[in-house]
Structure 1
């Protein structure tokens, strides 16, 4: 009964979140519509990261690399190579996949903290390359004037929401497929997974590439939304932000990182409005939230609903 109730709660919460996101532009200004679009993309990036962290058990500090490559790939395709939108997105995701394959293969020779440090190092290497090749990437100034498909912010918002919804469904199906269960077995006990006949290194690399692609999709939609992309999108601090988003929402709840990304964006916007020391305020607020709700915001909500449901069932 508990598992059925849990499945229903996850389903109803997902429907409620998507209905809210679909209706939001109808009663908010264009500024908040854009901000919500950024939140959706941050949430999608955190969901991609969580495939590797929450479901495979590997902490990466290099996911800004894939976000940034997705953003730069689309910008370079549109502005430098004269490609159309579809070709630019394919170019960007091919760049992300190739980079993930190479960096993942090299990084996954180690695990735990050594893996995290290697992903950080590769991310900073890509950041340095982007800074150096000014003719292609714009150097430290970045690239500006990136055209937005569909023109208006509200129209592009629904493109972002539709794409994110499709990706979330695909990730949901993946994580509940036999392959997703293998990822979780490796997370819980890599030695046991090996004794069952799975190639742990290959499975981890596959998880790494899929995780990178989901984050890359989010980045590829971000640069046309903003009309620009700068090297800061590749810097290691944004990788840390992605980690915070996932933990903030809850890494053991499927939609937790997605919700965490949206909450993070609005928390940051509010902090920037109320104080010039917004970085300190953000850090303090996030630390308190994570300390009070170690299971994450959505994780805590679902946990409370499940407790009430069990009590009502026991009362009958």
Structure 2
């Protein structure tokens, strides 16, 4: 049913006041939040620095398209590798601490990348951001995949499906069950002889690749990459999305992204203080749905049984 809704969205979305770019942004943020949630909801690490890998993915795509290739698929692969490999290299350092110290390390690393992007004007464009690139049609034998708003939306759907499938396979494998065990009781897992830091690092690295893919798509959506994509405030948005939808649910971040992006889009047309609206929604969610929307629905189904 979800697949049918996503594939037919351009046909019915405008009846709800939506448009293709809005749907693309929902899926991009959902993919980023689902990637973060591998660490947050399933491995038990609160990261406020995942925007760094989102931003690196965006800059990787932008630089590839500006200087090396007009192939959107190749640029996406390059951006995903840039952000994902950065997460994989830094993961062993980040997971050496847990709790608040883990969160602080992720913020520090994220801000390091943010200030590099701000200061490295020659490459990144500094505070003005990276411009001068755009998405181009994909050419296949006898067929051209247009990158207009609708065509790009379907590219986002494809990438979202691949990213979600990869996360689903990981979480339903022995490796994914080990991630959950790390979340539930890492001390007991250590006593059993498991290398907890290794598994936490693997979770962080896989998460980084998924978030970087989402960042690359975001650069293609806007034809622009900004240092703000690396800032901790965007990481906070991803955390809000995951918590709003339900951290312990696979599809929770997807539901959270729909609410977050739609509310932001509507509120920003009504008031300049749209962040207050998002904050109010988040507060009400935490008060009345502490396990998120999907957690609340799961509880209702359980009680009916």
Equivalent-residue separation in structure 2 for 1:164 and 1:90 (angstroms) = 14
User: For residue 77 of structure 1, what is the aligned residue in structure 2?
Assistant: 64
Structure 1, unpaired ranges of 5+: 1-15, 311-316
* Deviation of 1:31 (Å): 5.9
Distance 1:158 1:306, change over 3 A: farther
Q: 1:221 aligns with which of 217, 232, 240?
A: 217
Mapped contact 1:70–1:220 kept (Cα < 8 A): yes
Alignment CA distance shift 1:19-1:307 (3 Å): farther
SS in 1 for 2:65: helix
Instruction: State the Cα deviation string for residues 103-153 of structure 1 (Å, max 9, x = none).
Output: 222222211100100100010000000111111111111122432243211
Q: Within 2, Cα distance between the matches of 1:46 and 1:304?
A: 24
User: 2:217 and 2:8 mapped to 1: Cα distance?
Assistant: 20
Name the TM-score, length of structure 2 as normaliser: 0.92
TM-aligned CA deviation for residue 300 of structure 1: 1.6
Residue 92 of structure 1 pairs with residue 43 of structure 2: no
- Match of residue 305 from structure 1: 301
| Equivalent in the alignment of 2:152 | 156
| Aligned equivalents of 1:81, 1:134: Cα separation in 2 | 19
Match of 1:240 among 236, 240, 260: 236
Question: 1:204, 1:133 → 2: CA distance?
Answer: 32
Q: Which moved more, 1:58-67 or 1:158-167?
A: 158-167
Query: Which of 237, 252, 277 matches 1:281?
Result: 277
Q: CA deviation at 1:296?
A: 0.9
Secondary structure of 2:19's partner? helix
Counterpart CA distance in 1 for 2:13 and 2:168 is 29
The answer to whether the 8 Å contact 2:53/2:208 transfers is yes
Moved more, 122-131 or 266-275: 266-275
Q: 1:49 aligns with which of 29, 36, 40?
A: 36
Deviation at 1:81, TM superposition (A): 3.2
* Number of the residue aligned with 1:24: 9
Distance 1:259 1:31 in 2: 16
What RMSD in Å do the two structures reach over aligned CA positions?
A: 1.6
Contact 2:85 2:209 in 1 (8 A): no
Instruction: Give distance in 2, aligned partners of 1:81 and 1:106.
Output: 32
Q: How many residues align?
A: 294
Higher alpha-carbon deviation: 195-204 or 98-107: 98-107
Q: Secondary structure at the match of 1:27?
A: helix
Q: 1:140 aligns with which of 102, 105, 127?
A: 127
2:184 to 163, 188, 191: 188
Instruction: Output the CA distance in 2 between the equivalents of 1:136 and 1:273.
Output: 34
Whole-Å separation in 1 of the counterparts to 2:2 and 2:263: 18
Residues 161-204 of structure 1 deviation map (CA, whole Å, 9 limit, x = unaligned): 12111211221111010000111111111122123332111111
Q: Which sections of structure 2, spanning at least 5 residues, go unmatched?
A: 137-145
Structure 2: how far apart are the matches of 1:90 and 1:166?
Answer: 13
TM-score (norm 1): 0.89
Distance, in Å, in 1 between the alignment partners of 2:10 and 2:156 is: 13
**Contact between 2:70 and 2:135, CA under 8 Å: does it hold in 1?**
no
Which of the numbers 283, 291, 295 marks the counterpart of 2:291?
295
